[in-house]
Structure 1
């Protein structure tokens, strides 16, 4: 294999090791549904193999189907998550055997394929990047399911840097245009394309994500009980749901505790807040006299280099993420303390924009001008509109292979089980 193929093979191995590690539990844990918001873990396990078969073996290599009879079962668009336990799912043993068989054939295809050919699925290993990122995204979903299950055993503490106090609360982003999206990153998804010029007025954006201490102050000052801080839809959701704090938080006397992978512990006040919905993030921002950044504001503050007049792949530049710059890849099962990564700052001085928590933005998930669906419209196109809010940046559970300044995530504004937080912005005062 050449260097590119060896790198792809290593990524395939790494993501599969991760998937198997998250599904080592007893079969009962894997086949049960822990929340109607999430699939049984065994569904995710077989689904990543079926997706890999569909795109690498069938679409890219033209190989006959291995198990066509299960395509319908593992089609994410045909069966809502709440209904998947009723399907005739493969058992954990069958699922592991199936994905192992698919992977063996995929490695044979990788060995033979021309990564410099004209086929856009082949070029630069795009189809392999597609399945690698897809599996990492499902691995993060599995972690969210395991957190909901309350099962212990996945609390990795890791060696995260210490936080640091001081420094400005906000950073300033001057008015001007920048290039949003990408035309060059080979594994970028269709919704990140094409690169296009966006002109923005000046604004301020928080240097760091909103922390637990600041969010606790919002709660203590009655933020959940004051409709002034909530949008009309958000207030309806707040009354309907009865939420009074981030998911997994509970008050104990004068303090706050949280449940993290089966462990109950005091809420660390110096970490970014996580497990909050878009409605909660929006309400906090209003209470703080600010707002959520638009998606364009977030991307400019994160990835634009105003001196070089070009976009960076990561906030700090082109070098791959490492433990001195960002908290990614489940090194520890929690966000790092605020201010832990000065070396990961963007050109404008914003920190922790990659890793730790997905960050809600104020934008709906919409196509960029000139968008073209590839390789299938169900990846992005069917979700465009005013139903899903955009999240950016990746969380501590996201893998570096699926993180970059242009990467777009999206979800319903009510979602809290995912590893979500936020930072605030405000327009320049005239």
Structure 2
């Protein structure tokens, strides 16, 4: 996995080669997820998601905008299609009605863009990649388009799950879980450094790095399992308003929600549908496809709460002995198969306890990969925030509408996850690969506000 740090001058050529390899790796994934019947590509499978053919052409259009035009100053390839693939010009539910490029034309377009992008990359020298231009320095613009494509690949997987696309179930390669051990880990009071200041590819909402002082708290060692969540459901959790926030209860009642998305009851057992396959819900896996409202209700039922994003980040990446933040819970080494379940290694979360080598300094496990984890925090800017390279990536979403998720999922590529990475979504969204873990203040300590 490519380490996104500023290159030394003597390493520039090798740095460029690694970026080119990463671009090829990301594109293989995009093409694999769209190697399906044209009818499935152009169809709108859910009002929450774009047609897959839109995502396919959009990643190429985004790459053209930022590498060919913004970085290289090239003329537009096909300026007439720009409005079609502007994510802010048309809601997802309306994109099926646009005159989109067809599957074959979309593939031709993105291949042509990629060829020109590799030419631009080849022409960059030491002064570009090691200089002061923020788009060039550290290969930032390439990190931007790579992570953008990775995020759309995960979105395409969510769409394929919604449409029940068979053939995507991967079950091998995950280690077994480890039952037993402490249910919670303790994080002492004190300051830590939040944010991704040392990462050359960090998004603007991860910056600037800053100090945050937290009271002591306890946080679950693992994400909440499907078995634990089933106990909440079986205890009447969806029928008891006292566990739900007023907005959450209203959402639950209006939508008729009675269990996580893709779950159903058969006799005394819970079953789920995973990429078109019906199977019993594995009790030892982290629960996924739950909304923030559902996660919040479970936490209340359990006598806890969701962690704030800063509690989550401190438990994940802070090394108190060294007095610094780690890139990942286990340190700064790139994720390996012993650390985390990432990159569609399997089409599901790993059982809890599967990655002891991935534990944080405080003993929390599986904080990277498996499921995105809802936090109790709103998506807000850090002190001193500066939007870059465009307002629409983060700034327009700030406020009390979106909740923060952390950690990545089994479908997230390792390039697009780190201790300080911030994801966000509306609290009613369930199609994403999201779960959660709970927290509680230590005795005598007030809960930090969200």
After TM superposition, the score normalised by the length of structure 1 is: 0.99
C-alpha displacement at 1:158, in angstroms?
Answer: 2.5
The superposition leaves residues 18-50 of structure 1 with CA deviations (integer Å, 9 ceiling, x where unpaired) of 000000000000000000000000000000000
Match of 2:239 in 1: 225
Match of 2:132 in 1: 118
Matches within 5 A, 1:228-377: 228-377=242-391
Match of 2:158 in 1: 144
5+ unaligned residues in a row in structure 2: which ranges?
A: 1-11, 445-450
Q: 1:15 aligns with which of 7, 13, 26?
A: 26
2:339–2:356 CA contact under 8 A, matched in 1: yes
Determine if the alignment matches structure 1 residue 410 to structure 2 residue 424.
yes
The superposition leaves residues 369-395 of structure 1 with CA deviations (integer Å, 9 ceiling, x where unpaired) of 000000001000000000000000000
C-alpha displacement at 1:116, in angstroms?
Answer: 1.4
Q: 1:97 aligns with which of 99, 103, 108?
A: 108
Q: 2:406 aligns with which of 382, 392, 401?
A: 392
C-alpha RMSD over aligned residues: 0.6
C-alpha displacement at 1:182, in angstroms?
Answer: 2.3
Counterpart CA distance in 2 for 1:238 and 1:249 is 15
C-alpha displacement at 1:91, in angstroms?
Answer: 0.2
Counterpart CA distance in 1 for 2:281 and 2:91 is 33
2:187–2:217 CA contact under 8 A, matched in 1: yes
Match of 2:143 in 1: 129
C-alpha displacement at 1:244, in angstroms?
Answer: 0.5
C-alpha displacement at 1:6, in angstroms?
Answer: 1.1
Match of 1:50 in 2: 61
Determine if the alignment matches structure 1 residue 180 to structure 2 residue 194.
yes
Counterpart CA distance in 1 for 2:281 and 2:34 is 28
Q: 1:190 aligns with which of 204, 212, 237?
A: 204
Q: 1:426 aligns with which of 417, 436, 440?
A: 440
Counterpart CA distance in 1 for 2:172 and 2:54 is 29
Match of 1:31 in 2: 42
Counterpart CA distance in 2 for 1:324 and 1:151 is 29
5+ unaligned residues in a row in structure 1: which ranges?
A: none
Name the SS for the 2:367 alignment partner: coil
Counterpart CA distance in 2 for 1:415 and 1:6 is 39
Counterpart CA distance in 2 for 1:347 and 1:118 is 35
C-alpha displacement at 1:117, in angstroms?
Answer: 2.4
> Which stretch has the larger CA shift, 420-429 or 150-159?
150-159
Name the SS for the 1:380 alignment partner: helix
Name the SS for the 1:177 alignment partner: strand
List, as ranges, runs of 4+ consecutive aligned residues in structure 1 with deviation greater than 3 Å: none
Q: How many residues align?
A: 430
Match of 2:4 in 1: none
Counterpart CA distance in 2 for 1:305 and 1:117 is 31
Counterpart CA distance in 2 for 1:158 and 1:23 is 22
Counterpart CA distance in 2 for 1:298 and 1:158 is 29
Counterpart CA distance in 2 for 1:118 and 1:27 is 45
2:196–2:421 CA contact under 8 A, matched in 1: no
Determine if the alignment matches structure 1 residue 79 to structure 2 residue 90.
yes
